[in-house]
Amino acid sequence: MNILDKIVADKRKEVDLKKSLITVPQLEGSILMERTSVSLATVLRKSGRGIIAEHKRRSPSKSVINQNLNVQDVATGYADAGVCGMSVLTDGKYFGGSLDDLVLARAAVNIPLLRKEFIIDEYQIVEAKAYGADVILLIAAILSKEEIKRYSELAKSLGLDVLLEVHNEEELQKSIMPSLDMLGVNNRNLKTFEVSLETSKSLSTQIPDDFVKVSESGINSIEAIQDLMAYGYQGFLIGENFMKTNDPGASAKLFIDELNN
């Protein structure tokens, strides 16, 4: 089993347990179900910067990144820095996140929040809306074409944006459908964990212009973003680069100010 298979196997057990503790009707009773979501795709289309900043405590590839920060402070810092959106990892076992992080970030800011999670069940999509997300992530590597269609259509019915993540041409070709808003290319090879921006460049021409193109992983310089913009990318997911500092918000502000100059 590679790491992704292991995460998915654990996630199935976790979701089964959650379903027995909190039912879908209970989730649907959340006051946040009534909230009108803010579209990340719309914000990215209008922005000349396209920064989506992440809150991530640790990861399987880097172990501890930053365990010491308050998620509300990070969210406020990112919003003040002028990011287009914030990605909040809610996986506990491998990334040290939780749904509480999503709720706390939502209480602090009104910028678009992406629930970064390994979604393998419709339950998690209702859960995302109930806990204040504006956007969900779907990962093509762990879903069938039929699941991508079903999950993305459910998300749209709840008013959520959908970012679909691919790693190669095969995943991209099975995934293109009208119920997606953004197509994200992850530059990290999930088998080796090596990162190359060439992945985003090589797939750029195969992503129709109807979708906002987002590049993920390994983006840690202004030059990388300028380079990728030439390939039509409008969104850039940056995680560890900000989170490994003592003040992610201040780091994001410096980065965005430099990008604007």
Q: Active site residue: 39, 66, 127, 165, which one?
A: 165
Q: Is 155 helix (H, G, I), strand (E, B) or coil?
A: helix
pLDDT of 184 reads 98
pLDDT of 82 reads 97
Q: Active site residue: 39, 66, 87, 116, which one?
A: 116
Which residues are bridge partners to 139 per DSSP?
165
pLDDT of 65 reads 73
Burial of 36 (0-12, 13-18, 19+ CB in 10 A): exposed
pLDDT of 240 reads 86
**Annotation marks residue 217 as catalytic:** yes
**Annotation marks residue 68 as catalytic:** no
pLDDT of 245 reads 93
Helices (H) and strands (E) counted in the chain, each on its own, are 12, 10
Residue count (the chain): 261
**Annotation marks residue 216 as catalytic:** yes
Q: How many CB atoms lie within 10 A of CB 39?
A: 19
pLDDT of 242 reads 94
Q: Active site residue: 11, 216, 251, 253, which one?
A: 216
pLDDT of 75 reads 98
pLDDT of 246 reads 93
CA-CA distance, 244 to 69, in Å (whole number)? Answer: 10
CA-CA distance, 238 to 43, in Å (whole number)? Answer: 16
C-alpha closest to that of 188 among 64, 74, 62, 97:
62
Q: Active site residue: 66, 152, 175, 186, which one?
A: 186
Q: Active site residue: 11, 56, 213, 253, which one?
A: 56
pLDDT of 189 reads 81
Average pLDDT for consecutive 10-residue bins of the chain (261 residues)?
89 98 97 98 95 91 76 97 98 95 98 98 98 98 97 98 97 96 92 87 96 95 95 94 94 95 83
CB 120 within 8 A of CB 143: yes
**Annotation marks residue 198 as catalytic:** no
C-alpha closest to that of 120 among 93, 91, 99:
91
Q: Active site residue: 39, 200, 217, 251, which one?
A: 217
Which amino acid is residue 127, in one-letter code?
Answer: E
